[in-house]
Amino acid sequence: MVCTLVYLSIIVLIPLGMLPFRTASMGWDAFWETVLDPRVVASYRLTLTTSFMAACVNAIFGLIVAWVLVRYDFVGRRLIDALVDLPFALPTAVAGITLTTLYAPNGWLGKPLSNYGFMVAFTPSGITIALIFIGLPFVIRTLQPVIEDLDLELEEAATSLGASRWHVIRRVILPYLYPAWLTGFTLAFARAIGEYGSVVFISGNMPMRTEVSPLLIITKLEQFDYTGATAVAVVMLSMSFALLLVINALQGWSGRRLAH
Amino acid sequence: MERAEAGALMATVSQVHPGAINPPQTRRLTEPRLVRALLMCVAFAFLAVGLVIPLVAVFVEALANGVQAYVDAVREPDALAALRLTAIAALFAVPANLVFGVCAGWTIAKFTFPGKQLLTTLIDLPFAVSPVISGLVFVLLFGRQGAFGPWLLEHDVRIIFAVPGIVLATVFVSFPFIAREIIPVMEAMGTQEEEAARVLGASGLQTFFRVTLPNIKWGLLYGVILCTARAIGEFGAVSVVSGHIRGLTNTLPLHVEILYNEYNFQAAFAVASLLTCIALVTLVLKTIAERRKSG
């Protein structure tokens, strides 16, 4: 027990404690000036909007993929199921350079898209693509066990009472999946906000336009502006903790719903 | 033998899928055929564009200039040095977090104390923190302007922009993986078996190795696999503390970045393909451990 606490303190708590400590030393005025600087605010806006869009895309497709993987039988289902975790296992830098090469104006996917006038790499859409990739497993993995646990008798009952399939899905199945679905969405969103490795290559890193908050922290560090970097980090950390609370609340909700 | 039995069992289980018993109901309990086909197409298309194409692209780009160029890029001294450093970081991080994971699992599962929930939340903390921030906190501690910076400078100890910083950042980001796998397994196990062993005269260590360990080994292995993958692949945190000194403080993912930024795309993808192979092996091992763990 003692060694658990000591190790936890040395590796996690003391280092993280440096953030409020360092921020406290800079004073309120300097703190607000740093975190409300237009370039910094632009980076929050970009980080939040691209993360939100990526989480939405993952929520929609994740639901379909999870449903197909659990309910339908087809050749190679196990293989595909194992492959879903690839974004967790693949180093983010590898994902970053690969997606940039694919979506660059002369890449496999970027070329056809640019013919239709869509520029992906080095724009906010490119950032969204990278965030979709790294958040892809969350919704699928949180939904799968819940879909597996769905009581077929409920569906049978609804069907035998004359409900159409669409009605059963909308009124019986989906309400049951909501908590897990939202949890998966929030996990993907939270992960995307802090993401750096896969984004830094595809974003182009133009201040005010395609510069995400984690990158801004690095930029400030490279200019030896430790305090500025810490202030931005504290704001980002607060966002992450707020999302963590949401996730915990969602899990409590889902626990209560599944308990009855 | 055992595996064959399990396979046969699984086949029977899938045959007794509720729908199979009563064919007329199957049709009503699933979507119309057209909708099913449509959903499967959408799912496959999404996974193909999202996962398969990038996976193929890594290897195609890596071999773009032929096998010889690939081998040269992988065997280049800086790449080998990066490989060595990645291995060092993982060799520190995984055992350290393994020992901690077992201690934490033991503390949380076998004892009751106030603040247990808080402890579990604190263990998960590194997951909630952006990798960049994980690196930043160590710069704030040990960097030149950091809390211990002046003292370290005086004693000529280098942590940031050196190997110890990379090891620390790696330990931090891979910290929760093993503990969070072990805690539920140990909680499910309870304390009865261990108490029985102790009553029958086994020593503490004997109890651990003969009773506890066999019960948690698949969960443990699963955690180790995830922890190793993260330790090898970490980019953001390590990037902040490394200083990018070629041949000295570059891990494999950082080496990929440097090559890519030098427009040496083929070499970057060659090194990236090594990391991709490690990721694929991770997925295979993980699937095996997962099946053992639940079965």
Would you say residue A7 lies in a domain? no
Would you say residue A224 lies in a domain? yes
Would you say residue A14 lies in a domain? no
Q: Are the CB atoms for B182 and B101 separated by under 8 Å?
A: yes
Number of H helices and number of E strands within chain A?
Answer: 15, 0
How many domains is chain A partitioned into structurally? 1
B268-284: per-residue pLDDT in tens? Answer: 999 999 999 999 999 99
Residue B249 has a pLDDT of 87
Residue A259 has a pLDDT of 60
Residues of chain A with pLDDT under 70: 257-260
Interchain pair A74, B265: CB under 8 A: no
Q: How far apart are CA B150 and CA B168, in angstroms?
A: 19
Chain centre distance of CA A42: 19
B66-294 fold: MetI-like fold (1.10.3720)
* Mean pLDDT of all residues in B143-166: 87
Instruction: Read off the pLDDT band of B138 (50, 70, 90).
Output: very high
- Sign of the dihedral defined by the CA atoms of residues B81, B83, B84, B86, in that order: positive
Give the closest of A15, A71, A91 to B275, CB-based: A91
Would you say residue A226 lies in a domain? yes
Would you say residue A19 lies in a domain? no
Kindly report the length of chain B.
295
Instruction: Read off the pLDDT band of B5 (50, 70, 90).
Output: very low
CA distance A61 to chain B (A): 7
Give the closest of B25, B130, B140 to A214, CB-based: B130
B173-227: per-residue pLDDT in tens? Answer: 999 999 988 988 888 888 888 889 989 988 888 888 888 888 888 889 999 999 9
Residue A86 has a pLDDT of 95
Which has the higher per-residue pLDDT, B104 or A256?
Answer: B104
Interchain pair B30, A94: CB under 8 A: no
Structural domain containing residue A129: 28-255
B58-103: per-residue pLDDT in tens? Answer: 999 999 999 999 999 999 999 999 999 999 999 999 999 999 999 9
Which DSSP string do the residues of B181-207 spell out, in sequence order?
HHHHHHHHH-SHHHHHHHHTT--HHHH
CA distance A71 to chain B (A): 8
Tell me, what CATH number does A93's domain have? 1.10.3720.10
* Mean pLDDT of all residues in B132-149: 89
Residue B28 has a pLDDT of 58
Nearest Cα neighbor of B227 from B171, B281, B269, B163 is: B171
Q: Is B172 on the interface with A (CB under 8 A)?
A: yes
ipTM, interface predicted TM-score of the complex: 0.90
Residue B12 has a pLDDT of 43
Q: Is B47 on the interface with A (CB under 8 A)?
A: yes
Interchain pair B139, A221: CB under 8 A: yes
Q: How far apart are CA A226 and CA A210, in angstroms?
A: 22
Phi and psi angles of residue A121, each rounded to the nearest 5 degrees, phi first: -65, 145
Q: A-chain residues within 8 Å CB-CB of B96?
A: 7
Residue B268 has a pLDDT of 96
Residue B8 has a pLDDT of 45
Entry pTM: 0.89
**CB pairs A-B closer than 8 Å:** 242
List the domain boundaries for chain B. 19-62, 66-294
Give the closest of B25, B128, B253 to A240, CB-based: B128
Interchain pair B46, A65: CB under 8 A: yes
Residue A128 has a pLDDT of 96
B231-276: per-residue pLDDT in tens? Answer: 999 999 999 998 877 778 899 999 999 999 999 999 999 999 999 9
Q: How far apart are CA A201 and CA A100, in angstroms?
A: 6
Q: Who's near A193: CB < 8 A, 6+ residues apart?
A: A47, A48, A51, A213, A236, A239, A240, A243, B130
Q: Which of A7, A9, A12, A220 to mutate to test the interface with B (most CBs of B within 10 A)?
A: A12
Would you say residue A214 lies in a domain? yes
Q: Is B55 on the interface with A (CB under 8 A)?
A: yes
Q: A-chain residues within 8 Å CB-CB of B275?
A: 90-91, 93-94
Nearest Cα neighbor of A102 from B265, B41, B239 is: B265
Give the closest of B46, B61, B140 to A226, CB-based: B140
Q: Which of B118, B137, B271 to mutate to test the interface with A (most CBs of A within 10 A)?
A: B137
Kindly report the length of chain A.
260
H-helix segments, B16-76: 18-21, 23-29, 33-47, 53-62, 66-75
Q: Is B277 on the interface with A (CB under 8 A)?
A: no
